[in-house]
Structure 1
Amino acid sequence: MSKLFSNYRIKDLELKNRIIMAPMCMYSADDDGKAKEWHELHYASRAVGGVGLIIQEATAVESRGRISSNDLGIWDDSQIEGLKKIAYTCRKYGAKMGIQLGHAGRKCEAENERIIAPSPVAFSDEYRVPAEMTKSEINEVVKAFQNAAERCVEIGYDIIEIHGAHGYLINEFLSPLTNSRTDEYGGSKENRARLLKEVIHAVRKVWSMEKPLLLRVSAEDYAEEGNRPEDLADLINLVKGEGVDLINVSSGGVVSIVPKAFQGYQVKFAEIIKEKTTLPVVAGGLIIEPHMAEEILQNERADLIYFGRVLLRNPYWSLHADNELSNIAIWPKQYERAKLRRR
């Protein structure tokens, strides 16, 4: 039996396979951050296509935490109804449903927002200079994550992912390239991890310890004096006791450097973090071939695999992969006659 199509259990969540749809922004909401019909159709098609766990795109915990003016939001109760439709429909068609809670920090490009960051340094010349966060604003952000998690309970998500990657607010605190604070939130690894630790602690006040909590990290900054995978492992070890169950390993985004990308280019980072934190990990990075995903799992280099753009190109990638690896997945009955049979 293929390991990619084997069940996986973490806390109260059992996945039918180890295929995860990575969070990818759709930039399709209006300025109010509410979900539209597009979002429901987009995610539901991947559920029909056999994905085990769908992680909804970065969903802002504050209006000023959006990446763009067209991001989904979860900072207001009026946004709950649309998100409920997404979660309900995806679960109805066989996928478990997660959400990535995020805050853009200095990479916020939403209109008419005061942007904030650990230090007043712009991402690039094309971005505005953020305001250095006060202690009061740090507390506001922590509370915003907690309030968002409380809404996640009402909506019915199966898993929460905290976005600590790609140069957004939490990542800005974690990286020495973007955090030059001299207070208890800057300097040492313990201090740079403090915001993340507080966010996890606050989320766990409302998100039961019986339910899984996922953390996404950028394991490599691709710049001198930036974080490396070993550094991220140290940072994770400082916060995992607050209730982190699984690490989603990505890279880059904290500074304006484009890494050299190739199939599986981030898998080694996941291996290092898995070894040094003893936590299960999700690996990915231009993984498009079913047999490559299978090799990673069989050799215990990761526990689950995330897929991004390949699922944008083909919502039914999972069904094709099943044909190549195991031929055991239950196809939608409406599509059964299209299932390829092995000779």
Structure 2
Amino acid sequence: MATNALVPVFDGHNDVLLRLSRSGSKTAAHDFLQEGSTGHLDLPRARAGGFAGGLFAVYVPSSTTGTGSDGKPEPLAPPLAEAQAAALELVSLLARMERVSDGGLKICRTGGDIRGAIAAGALAAVLHVEGAEMIDPDLNMLDVLHQAGLRSIGPVWSRSNIFGHGVPFRFPSSPDLGPGLTEAGKALVRACNELRIMVDLSHLNEQGFWDVAALSDAPLVASHSNVHALTPHSRNLTDRQLDAIRDSDGLVGVNFGTMFIRADGTKNPDTKLEELVRHIDYLVDRIGLDRVGLGSDYDGTTVPNDLRDASRLPALVATLRDKGYDDEAVRKICSENWIRVLEKTWGA
């Protein structure tokens, strides 16, 4: 029987660190502890909606634009020194958020950390890198970030860097755009396997996806991606990619971004939650209930009005229940599947 209690949500992706950094506030860490009227995520709104934790992205925006492999404009990766300075600012911000939260937020390095934080009512934050531009070819910075708590990394964002080629934002389009991982990228994947850092497939083009699949001994995970067969956006996953994730016992975190869930691929916040749930339905049918999670992309994309901030997550839970998902299935999709795949990847 369904209950009225909040269902804990462990989420595969948010960009709150970048939003707070861009605000220019000298008290950004404290600002996260106050309920805001802008953005999607802060601690009060997380608690109000059952947002219990997730992957907190360190992402360095592009400052210049070039030409992609398809001849169209593509953002260029920032140079190493610029990326390292910006990334360290965001990693420091997350550390300060933990420090000033008085136990309200905990940086988690193991599955036990996540479970313990959620049980204690603390927000379970996992340090994630989206686009590895801050990591040097010798991977020295990878070791430093791992010691700081890094447990998940996307080798690329939707641009090229020394590790590989991200899939550009195209609609309608196949994700098969350009070459995949470089030799440096393959070395990065091997190093992440050794360190038990999850390799995130979201933002990789299709060839890069298959390069990771051929190299990695960990479950294949796309932290915030959707179904290409329903919304033919280049960022979404083909059935063949989904089958590989299923066969590796991995996971897909469903992105709330309207451009990735609507059949017309538009950034339209007037989008019904049923559009999001049809992607969940498809994934459950294709890869199995135990391999589907959430990857909201909060503070990083346009989301449906009904999910306009983290306090609104119960509306998605209600929609899932209306569509026939029982309490066990809802718990798996909302948090348990993510914790399972992270524990399997991290070995803890």
Please classify the TM superposition score into its range, dividing by the shorter chain length: 0.5 to 0.7
Please identify the structure whose Cα radius of gyration is greater: 1
Shift in CA distance, 233/80, structure 1 to aligned 2, threshold 3 Å = closer
Quote how far apart the aligned CAs of 1:318 are: 1.6
Match of 1:217 among 202, 208, 211: 202
Quote how far apart the aligned CAs of 1:152 are: 0.5
In the alignment, the residues of structure 2 paired with residue 269 and residue 80 of structure 1 have an alpha-carbon distance, to the nearest angstrom, of 30
User: 5+ residue gaps in structure 2?
Assistant: 35-40, 61-78, 106-116, 169-177, 262-271, 332-348
Quote how far apart the aligned CAs of 1:244 are: 5.4
Q: Does 1:29 align with 2:10?
A: no
Quote how far apart the aligned CAs of 1:306 are: 1.7
Shift in CA distance, 86/167, structure 1 to aligned 2, threshold 3 Å = farther
| 2:192–2:199 CA contact under 8 A, matched in 1 | no
Q: Does 1:169 align with 2:183?
A: no
- Number of matched pairs: 244
Q: How does 1:37-116 map to 2 (within 5 A)?
A: 37-41=30-34, 42-45=41-44, 47-48=46-47, 49-51=49-51, 53-59=53-59, 64-65=82-83, 72-74=89-91, 81-85=95-99, 89-90=104-105, 91=117, 93=121, 95-103=123-131, 105=133
* Deviation digits for residues 7-61 of structure 1 (CA, Å, limit 9, x no counterpart): 9xxxxxxxx5575444456343389x99622345544245312235422132569
Q: Match for 2:43: what amino acid?
A: A
| 1:47–1:94 CA contact under 8 A, matched in 2 | no
Match of 2:185 in 1: 196
In the alignment, the residues of structure 1 paired with residue 166 and residue 16 of structure 2 have an alpha-carbon distance, to the nearest angstrom, of 23
* Deviation digits for residues 226-245 of structure 1 (CA, Å, limit 9, x no counterpart): xxx3x23321223313x455
Q: Does 1:300 align with 2:292?
A: no
In the alignment, the residues of structure 2 paired with residue 79 and residue 162 of structure 1 have an alpha-carbon distance, to the nearest angstrom, of 20
Quote how far apart the aligned CAs of 1:315 are: 1.7
Quote how far apart the aligned CAs of 1:150 are: 1.0
Q: Does 1:232 align with 2:208?
A: yes
| 1:19–1:305 CA contact under 8 A, matched in 2 | yes
In the alignment, the residues of structure 2 paired with residue 170 and residue 45 of structure 1 have an alpha-carbon distance, to the nearest angstrom, of 39
User: 5+ residue gaps in structure 1?
Assistant: 8-15, 109-115, 117-136, 154-158, 178-186, 221-228, 252-259, 331-343
Is the partner of 2:20 in helix, strand or coil? coil
Match of 2:146 in 1: 149
Shift in CA distance, 104/21, structure 1 to aligned 2, threshold 3 Å = closer
Is the partner of 1:165 in helix, strand or coil? coil
Q: Match for 1:82: what amino acid?
A: R
Shift in CA distance, 267/305, structure 1 to aligned 2, threshold 3 Å = farther
Is the partner of 2:104 in helix, strand or coil? helix
Match of 1:334 in 2: none
Is the partner of 1:269 in helix, strand or coil? coil
TM-score calculated relative to the size of structure 1 = 0.53
In the alignment, the residues of structure 2 paired with residue 275 and residue 97 of structure 1 have an alpha-carbon distance, to the nearest angstrom, of 29
| 2:9–2:52 CA contact under 8 A, matched in 1 | yes
TM-score calculated relative to the size of structure 2 = 0.52
Higher relative contact order structure (alpha carbons within 8 Å, sequence separation ≥ 6):
2
Is the partner of 1:199 in helix, strand or coil? helix
Quote how far apart the aligned CAs of 1:300 are: 3.1
Q: Match for 2:221: what amino acid?
A: L
Q: Does 1:248 align with 2:223?
A: yes
Is the partner of 1:160 in helix, strand or coil? strand
Shift in CA distance, 45/274, structure 1 to aligned 2, threshold 3 Å = farther
User: Taking every aligned residue pair, what percent have the same amino acid on both sides?
Assistant: 9
Shift in CA distance, 176/193, structure 1 to aligned 2, threshold 3 Å = farther
Q: Match for 1:276: what amino acid?
A: A
Shift in CA distance, 81/267, structure 1 to aligned 2, threshold 3 Å = closer
Match of 1:274 in 2: 242
Quote how far apart the aligned CAs of 1:151 are: 0.6
Quote how far apart the aligned CAs of 1:198 are: 2.5
What is the RMSD of the two structures over their aligned residues, measured on CA atoms?
A: 4.8
Q: Match for 1:248: what amino acid?
A: S
Q: Match for 1:100: what amino acid?
A: H
Shift in CA distance, 232/271, structure 1 to aligned 2, threshold 3 Å = farther
